[in-house]
Chains A and B, each alone.
Chain A
Amino acid sequence: MPDHDTAHPALVSTSVPGLDVVLGGGLFQGALVLIMGPPGSGKTTLATQIAFAAAQAHRKTIVFTALSESTTKLLKHLQRFAFFDASLIGVEIVFFSLEAFLADGVAAASDAVIAATRQVGAELVIIDGFRGITGVASDPQQARAFLFDVGAALSLAGTTTIINSEAEPRDPKLFPESTTADVILGLTYGVRDRRALRGIEAIKVRGGTPLPGIHALGLDGTGVLVYPRIETQAITALPRPEVVAALPPWAASATSLTTAAFGIPALDALLSGGVTRDTSTLLTGSLGTGKTLLALHFALAGVAAGEPVVMLSFRETLPQLLAKADAFALGATLRAGLAAAGPLTLIRWEPVELVPEQVLDHLLTILAQTHAQRLVIDSLVELQRAVTETSSRGRIANVIAALLAVLRQRKVTLLGVLETSVTVTSTPDFAADPLAILAENLLLLQHVGQEEQIQRMLTVLKMRFAPHTLTRYPFTIAAPEGIRLGPSDTDR
């Protein structure tokens, strides 16, 4: 078997979180990599982060700095990042100024750079700053040609070479160089509603299968973090239809569906045991109808059964959630669930400037780590908003469809809370809501006016794999038992 793989060079990890996934595994040794992007997009951080990771692995690395920034200035700037390791400098990784090589002209510089690389025995070379070179050579095209000649020569000799270039990722003027490069990464940097948004696209990965599209790029004290688009987790490269021409063996006999209970006897009875496993259920309704409490019931029913459960919350903080649980005698179960070896994992995000790719990437990681098959998201509204803010409303349906597909693949049962603006009404029409179409099941919680009283009502609007009637069931929320289906005490 290994003999068949020799045609494909082994991929080396970049050690940048998420980047290997986007590249389709990593970078092959000797690759000529071009990173393009505007100022501030993270080119230098990305390249030097890869450089320090290589140095850490005892792979000799050279960073050639541009004229615009001295090596001293660059090193000072890099000290802010966790990947910076001063003990490696001058030992495993060296920083050279390109300027020294250019003293005798562009032609001589090429040979000098190659000679310096050979002397160090570098496995990785970073040439940071296309623009700096452009300043020295009279013709920008000549400067580009110089860098690419150098890069191509180094890459042919087996040295992975990363060239950073201050350019628009899809600048047609760069076309000649683009054909030479094995990998082209485009970084984007924009401001939207006063918020900085960074992205990364694997424009070209020769011989590889990169994840298509623009992925989210984060910058913090650890350096660059890449969060792949959730859509690429559901489909790879091109969407392919599933065509069934022959029934697979497993489908020959009737399948028995299992359910995930709420732990509220009357509701579970109504749903013939609970919601169908491996499906998604939307819990919708206006503010204050008890959605979060019902979602908490669902999560804790899993905890009580000893199932690993994940709760993704943008609303209640841990103290608020504990207070809520305590008010309804659910506190002990919640505490047991969240105890050190407990089956419940609570993920809480402050719903400010969320990056949907980051939130979902983290969620899928936690689901994989915990093997959870029961997930509560409170609520999907924050995710929708994050998608709208970072791209457009039009992407919501794709993101949610991808999320639901990934959850289905992983056999995770989702209960997602979704606010509606309708306060008091009869059954609202969800026909136009893409979320309601995508989810298998739809539960509606409402306030319905009955003479002097406002009664809480639960309606099963859609239950794809179970029989249901469009009947409104009254329910009450009372301490200490929490949610109870049935007429309110005053009606009895």
Chain B
Amino acid sequence: MDHNEATENSVPQRQARLVLIVDDEPAIADSVAAVVEDARYDVLIAHGGKQALVLVAQQWPALVMSDVMMPLMDGPTFVTALRAQAAHWHLPMPTIVFMTAASRRAVAGVVFDALVEKPFEITTIDALLVRFLGESG
């Protein structure tokens, strides 16, 4: 059996140091990823909600930093789907941080842990990592 291939029924591996970044703008996803990597966490990048759901089926992140306005599957829809998956696999729900320029009305009705308004400073990401994942090793 191939352990790298995720199937419908296989539960993804929990990764305590994994941060999933979801943003349709590659430039923003890449720059946030660079900051997270500098803080010595593992990073996964998705450019939309659908791609992000495929990735979490293989590796279950501890923290998700997601954009709100994304085509085809937006941030709130992705987070709602992620919560359903967490329940399905009996995995702890990752910490959810929205990074957005959108109105708070756009995330109304969705449970999340923090919201960062774009544009933001690099130090904001560092502070979030410390707050939710603790001091980096």
List residues of A whose CB falls within 8 A of some B CB. Answer: 70-73, 75-76, 86-91, 94-97, 99-101, 103, 112-113, 115-116, 119
Q: For residue A101, which residues in chain B have a CB less than 8 angstroms away from its CB?
A: 71
A76 to B68, CA, bound (A): 16
B8-65 residues with Cβ-Cβ distance < 8 A to A are: 24-28, 47-48
A103 touches B47 (CB 8 A): yes
List residues of B whose CB falls within 8 A of some A CB. Answer: 24-28, 47-48, 68-72, 74, 100-103, 105-107, 118-119
A234 to B103, CA, bound (A): 46
Given contacts A72-B119, A103-B47, contact A97 B103 (CB under 8 A): no
A89 to B71, CA, bound (A): 14
B106 touches A70 (CB 8 A): no
A95 touches B101 (CB 8 A): yes
Q: Other CB < 8 Å A-B pairs besides A90-B105, A99-B27, A100-B48, 8 of them?
A: A72-B101, A72-B119, A86-B103, A89-B69, A89-B106, A94-B69, A94-B102, A97-B24
Question: A116's closest neighbor in chain B, by CB?
Answer: B71
Shortest CB–CB separation between residue B99 and chain A, in angstroms?
A: 9
Given contacts A89-B103, A89-B106, A96-B24, contact A76 B119 (CB under 8 A): yes
Please tell me which one of the listed residues B26, B48, B72, B106 contacts residue A90 in the complex, with CB atoms under 8 A apart: B106
Question: B104's closest neighbor in chain A, by CB?
Answer: A87
A100 touches B24 (CB 8 A): yes
B27 touches A90 (CB 8 A): no
Shortest CB–CB separation between residue A223 and chain B, in angstroms?
A: 19
Shortest CB–CB separation between residue B72 and chain A, in angstroms?
A: 6
Main secondary structure of the interface of A (DSSP, over half): helix
**Interface hub of A90, A101, A113 (most chain B Cβ within 10 A):** A90
Shortest CB–CB separation between residue A120 and chain B, in angstroms?
A: 8
Question: B105's closest neighbor in chain A, by CB?
Answer: A91
B101 touches A75 (CB 8 A): yes
B106 touches A71 (CB 8 A): no
Instruction: Pull 13 A–B residue pairs with CB atoms less than 8 Å apart, ordered by A.
Output: A75-B118, A76-B101, A86-B103, A87-B103, A89-B103, A90-B69, A90-B107, A94-B69, A94-B74, A95-B101, A96-B24, A99-B25, A116-B71
B105 touches A87 (CB 8 A): yes
A75 to B28, CA, bound (A): 14
A87 to B74, CA, bound (A): 17
